[in-house]
Structure formats: structure tokens, C-alpha cells
Amino acid sequence: MPALHELTPLARALMIRHIFRKPRMSAAIGLALAIPCMQVQAQEVEFNIPAQSLTSALQEFGRQANLQVLYSPKDIEGKRSTAVSGKASPAQAIAELLRSTDITHSIEGNSVILTKQSFSSSALELGTIAITSNEFGTITEESKSYTPGTLATATRLVLTPRQTPQSITVITRQHMDDFGLNSINDVMRHAPGVSITTYDSERTEYNVRGFAVNNFQYDGIPATRTATYSAGQTLSDMAIYDRIEILKGSTGLLTGTGTPGASFNLIRKKPTNEFRGHFTAGAGSWDNYRTELDVGGPLTESGNVRGRAVAAYQDKHSFQDHYEKKTSVYYGVLEFDLSPDTLLTVGADYQDNKPEGSSWGGNIIYDSNGNFNKMSRSFNNGAHWSSWEQYTRTVFATLEQNFANGWLGKVHLNHQINGYDAPLGAVAAGNPNPETGSGTRLWLNKYVGETKANAADMYLTGPFELFGKEHEFVVGGSVSKKRWQSKSYNRPASYSNLVDDYYEWNGDIPEPEWQFSREYDEITREQGFYTTGRFSLTDDLKLILGGRVSDYRGETVTKTGVVTPYMGLVYDLNDNFSLYGSYTSIFSPQTVRDEQGKALDPLEGDSYETGIKGEFFEGRLNTNLAYFEIKQDNYAVQTGNKAPDGTNAYRAEQGVTVKGYEAELSGELAPGWHLQGGYTHRTAKRDGNKVSTIAPEDQFNIYTSYTLPGRFNALTLGGGARWQSKTWATLRKPVGGTDDFTQGSFWLVDLMARYQVTENVSTTLNVNNLLDKKYYSIMDFYSVYSWGEPRSVTASVRWDF
């Protein structure tokens, strides 16, 4: 028989249970366990665990105490912890943490075992065991909340929102399930401070604090996205994700290059420690059909191997004529407890998006007389064969190793393929004659491309003592290589692109015999070294200092030794409020050159933010009030002369300056009443003139759900609204002069209702754009617009097992 300390935590717990069934052996085993147990219970640790959901608190306890925590998820569901702060032994800390619950604990070696006791004459029974270990932050689907527990997107330090000196919005699994948020576009419409510009049926652009967002992360691994050649990122299906974290401001500490508006971190679902799953089927407006299957649980008797599999399929038509899209999603992940201190995770995901009748661009804004060209919402400027197929393939692996004294090392590897196959044809050029419909032309091109990206991130994190205080430290590095290969095709000269009558267009034209035009093959390499320290200046004052040194090598530009600083300060005023301030930065390499032929220095975005964060009702509710400024430097401006290679020469000037404020609230206001909402105001200027005006300067979002009490608690009702101020673009009119083409301010209202038919079966109804508001977004550089989606209704049935 192997020694007890060689077994996994789950196997050890089961062994203890087996031993306790045999009274004659219990004394000997108890003596064998006594020494390590006494050492664990006696050693004092600096704890800082706010009151919160018990699931989140146990994860923090396990991390800070460097202990495995084993429990039955059913035993702790819906329970809240008591706050623990200051130096204490693990035994004292866990006792205080559980003080307001009916959960008891025991410490066996390196494990803390939680259970509801049920004694018989010969045994102490333990329920199904789960292990809290997730350095990405708190898993939200277990909390059933609209607010997160902990997160690590900003600094790699696992912190609560109140401890993080930047604004961060999290759309949790519960929020997504309540409102049927099945795509990343759905999520962003609910996220405070995020606006969406629709390019066409397949492409969208997200704007935060006046800047387009190109930074995506998957479980913390950075990836960039370009709107010109979209390849799956903005079509991501939410079936495989636990939550979406939106870190606002510059995020260069961990992402390296990018824009200073925000970074989106998509956190995948994890295997469950007991067998469970669900099947969902739904149908909605315009022949929208969707099914989803999600199953997870232990794969071995001891539970040291766990898995999860997700599959989803959606066939969705549209309010636009002759448009349809089929989406297939598959995801699988495995966790292996290689030892009590070593966790290996491997997984893969796959998504296909296959549309028919894709639009390209939008409706032409002006007719030939310079008047607004108001088209029906059902009008589709794309041909029947027009299609922008996009796909994503990812494999990943993570190795976590716990060391002594609370330190943890982690290696994350990621291989991702993003591709597109886009034969496109659409009426988007020219200006139609309002009488005859003549005067417009087709855009006709085909693009086929694929990006293969390999990335690795490695770091070491843990606590250390200095001047009688406990502090935290992270040191790590990342490396990535991305290769983009693409081919472009044009129509043959014999294929006419003229449209006889724009107003009679129905997309019924033959597809051209495409002719090869151009080929791209570009390799981008990035690497960086980063470090972060969280220092306890006093019990109430925490300083976060960090920085990154990055190297970037593209096809035409190389930058080495670029320094990206990070600084944050958090001061706890009392048990509920903390003041904070932060300075963060990010850079983006530029390929344009000056008159001497030298590439301009990287475009830099420096973010400054200060505010007050609140935590109420034992952590069930989080609030944030923030003021922010973003200053952009090294903005490229043409000089009017030429560079040595004959291209236009540029000089670097101060770019866009953004100032604004925002307020956000998320969490549980009362038992069963969940809410998330926020208000954002910002202005973006360059040389005193407003820019980024196709995104609203003011936004307000609020979404809520309430489970009725007493005998009506099978019914959950909810709804929400979002408002945005006017947006506009200054455009040249076909008759001469310019015009501020404007979409006025508007409200959108949504409703939801869920009825729990049985303990395992529920049905949900969602209504979007209840008042059927007509609105559009503007793509200014092509002078086109796209209508927003009309009122839609979706009904679904979910079976949990």
C-alpha cells in the first residue's frame, strides 16, 4: 500500500474515510497524521479574505494557506463566508471563515476537509469531494451570481474586484444563461461601457473609452484581432465559456501590444468534480434554432481525472433577406491531479461559422441628391452566394505546480488557428438615383486566409515577508509567434459590377470566376518579461508595482526593449469602501516611416484612473465609481513629403486624448435579486476636435432578474434596458459639402422569464428590443450604415442532470 502522503487529495480523503470505519486502526493512523497536522495548524499566515460566496472564499483560503480544500459542492452552495484578515494559523482562519455556516472542517496533512457530519456507530461519512484550485479566478457558474469573486486578468495576482486598481466588468455565466447571451456580440451589448459598431453581417467592432478593442485573451493568453480580415473572434459562441472579463484602460502589462481602450478575457469552462450536465433546446424569431449539450465529471473512481465536453449547434436565419448562418461548436477539457500539488489541464475547442448571403459593408447613406437613403431593415446588399466563412481551432495545455510557503508556478501553452474563406459580392459603392435606382456598383472580391498562432506564458507567484508584512510577487514571461497567410482574388474584367436598379436589388447574380490578385505571408514574433509586486505598506494600504519589457518583430518593423509600466494603489477606508488609483500603459508598433526612412516609434497609450470601489452584503454586491484619462502619443501624421522608399512620410504627434467617468454596480441586492448596470461618459479629442464619434459619448445599461419568494419561487422574472447618446460621422455629400450624419439617442428594452417546471427542467422566454426600436450604426470610412436587430423572441427548455 502506498504511503498516505503519496496519494492525491481525493484519494487521501477516501482513504481516511475508509480508515475511520475501522476503530482498531484509527489510533495508529491518528498518531501518524498528528505531526504534519500540528505543523499545519500552528504555522501563522497573513490572510486577507473578504466576506463573499463560500466557494470564492475557499479558493482564496486554499491559495493563501497553500492547502488543498476538499468539499461537496452541494454542501456549500449558496452559503457565504465570514471575512478573515490578519495573521492566523490555517486552523484558526478556516474556523473563522466557516463561522456563520453549518460546515465543519478537519485538517489532514496538506488538505482541509469540509463536511456536514452524519455519524453512525462506526463511521464519519464524507460526501462527494471537490478541489478549489483555479489560478484564473473564481468560477462563476458555481456562484449563480452577476458579480465575480476573484480574477487575475489585470496583474496575474488573484484579487477581488475591490482589490484591483482598474475598472473591470465581468459578465458571468448566470447573466449569460438568464438573458440567452449565446454570442460575444450579445455579451458586449450587455456590458457597461462597451459600444458596438456593425460593419456588416459578419463583422463588428467594439469600442471602449474611445478606442477600438483589438486585444482578446483566452484563459489569459493574448491574441489580437483585425476587423479588416475577421477570423472568428467576434463570432465566438458562449457555450464553452464560464465568463467574459473586460479590463478597461491600457493592459500592456500582460498583453504586450494593443490599443488602450480595453482587453477582453474569455475564460473557458472547467471540469466539474461531480457528474453533472445539461441539455438545452431553443427556437426563436426568423427560424432561429439552437441546441446545446454540456457534460462534466470525474473519469476515475478516485476523481483524480476529471473531464468536460460541450457541443452546440445553431441554425439562424435573419431579419435580412436571403441570409442564414450555421454555427457548430465543440469543446473538450481534461484535468489530471498528477500529485497533491500538481495539476495538468489539456483541452481543445473548435468552431465553424458558415453563413449564406453575407452582406459586405452596409446600406449606402446618401442618394445622388444628397438625401438620406432610407432602406428597409430587411434589405440585404449581399449576393446570395456571398459568404464570409470563419473558423477557429485551438488546443491548449496548462501545468500548475504548488510549492512550499504558498508559491505556485504555471506554464500555459496555446496553439490557435483562425481562418476565413470569403467570396464576397455586395452593392455598397456609388449613390443611387432616387427615381431610377441607377448609379451604384458592386464590391466584388474573394479573400482566403489563415493565421496560425503559438503562444506560451510562464510565471511564478507567491507571498513573501518583508518588514513584518506579507506581500505578493509575480515574475513571468511570454512568447508568441503568429503567421498570417492570405490570398486575394478579383473579378475578371468581363464581369460587370454595375447595378441597374439599387432599389430592386435582390442578390440574384452569378458568382464571378475569381482571378488571383495578391498573396500575403507575414510572421510576427513577440516576447516579453513581466513582473508584479503587491506590497502591504500598512494593513489598509496596498501598492502594486509592475512592468514589462517587450520585443516585437514584424515584417517591416522591429522594436526591442519597449518598457510598459504598471502602478496601482488601493486604500481601504473601512469594511466597505476602498480608494484606488492606477497608471497603466500599452504600445502598438507602427510601420509608417519618417522623411529619413525610419519607422515611427510605437503608438503609446497611457491610462490614468482613480476612483472608489465598494463591497457590500458580505461580498454579494460590488460597486465602482471611476474617473479616467487616456493619452495617446506618437500618432502618425503625414508631412506632405516622401520617405526614401517613395511612400508618404509621417511625423509623430500627440494623438487622441480621452477623459471620462463611469459608475458600475453588479451583484445581489437581496436574496434572489441580481442586477448589473452602469453609466459611462467620455469625450475623445485630437487637436481640440472630437473624434471617435461613431461610438456614443454616454451609455447606460441595467439588467436584472428576480426569483419570486415563497410558493412562487419557481418563477424568475427579469429585464433590462440600455441607452446611448447620439452618434455621428462627418461625411462628404455627393452634391458637395459635408454633413454630420447622425443617429439620435435611443433606448432598447429586453425582458426575460424562467419557470422551474421540475427540479431538473426549466423553460425560459427572452424578448429583445421589446419596443421594436429602429436604430442603426455608422461605418464612416465607407459612408454606409447597418440597421440594428428588430424585436425578437426566443423560447428554450433546459434539462439539468
User: Mind giving me the DSSP string for 176-196?
Assistant: HHHHT--BHHHHHHHSTTEEE
Give domain 4-131's CATH number out of 3.30.450.20, 3.55.50.30, 1.10.8.350, 3.40.50.150. Answer: 3.55.50.30
SS3 473: strand
Ramachandran angles phi, psi of 653, nearest 5°: -130, 175
Distance CA 5, CA 22 (A): 20
CATH superfamily of the 266-800 domain: TonB-dependent receptor, beta-barrel domain (2.40.170.20)
Burial of 544 (0-12, 13-18, 19+ CB in 10 A): buried
Tell me the pLDDT tens digit for each residue of 1-48: 333 333 333 333 333 333 333 333 333 333 333 334 444 445 778 787
pTM, two decimals, is 0.84
Confidence (pLDDT) at 116? 64
Helix-helix angle 54-65:90-97, to 10 degrees? 170
Cα torsion 238, 241, 242, 246: sign: negative
Cα torsion 108, 111, 117, 118: sign: negative
Element housing 14 (H / E): helix 9-20
Q: Are 752 and 764 in contact (CB under 8 A)?
A: yes
Q: Are 177 and 766 in contact (CB under 8 A)?
A: no
Q: Are 373 and 432 in contact (CB under 8 A)?
A: yes
SS3 607: strand
Tell me the pLDDT tens digit for each residue of 713-771: 999 999 999 999 999 999 999 999 999 999 999 999 999 999 999 999 999 999 999 99
Burial annotation 468-503 (CB, 10 A radius, 16+ → b, else e): eebbbbbbbebebebebebeebebeeebebebeebb
Confidence (pLDDT) at 34? 39
Distance CA 790, CA 785 (A): 15
Confidence (pLDDT) at 184? 94
Q: Are 739 and 167 in contact (CB under 8 A)?
A: no
Asked if the domains 4-131 and 161-265 are classified in one and the same CATH topology, the answer is no
Q: Are 623 and 646 in contact (CB under 8 A)?
A: no
Arch. (CATH architecture) of 161-265: Beta Complex (2.170)
The grid coordinates listed for 103 are: 460546515
Low-confidence ranges of the chain (pLDDT < 70): 1-42, 73-74, 77-78, 109, 116-135, 227-228
Distance CA 450, CA 453 (A): 10
CA-based nearest residue to 123, from 280, 239, 14 = 14
Sorted by where each begins, the domain ranges of the chain are 4-131, 161-265, 266-800
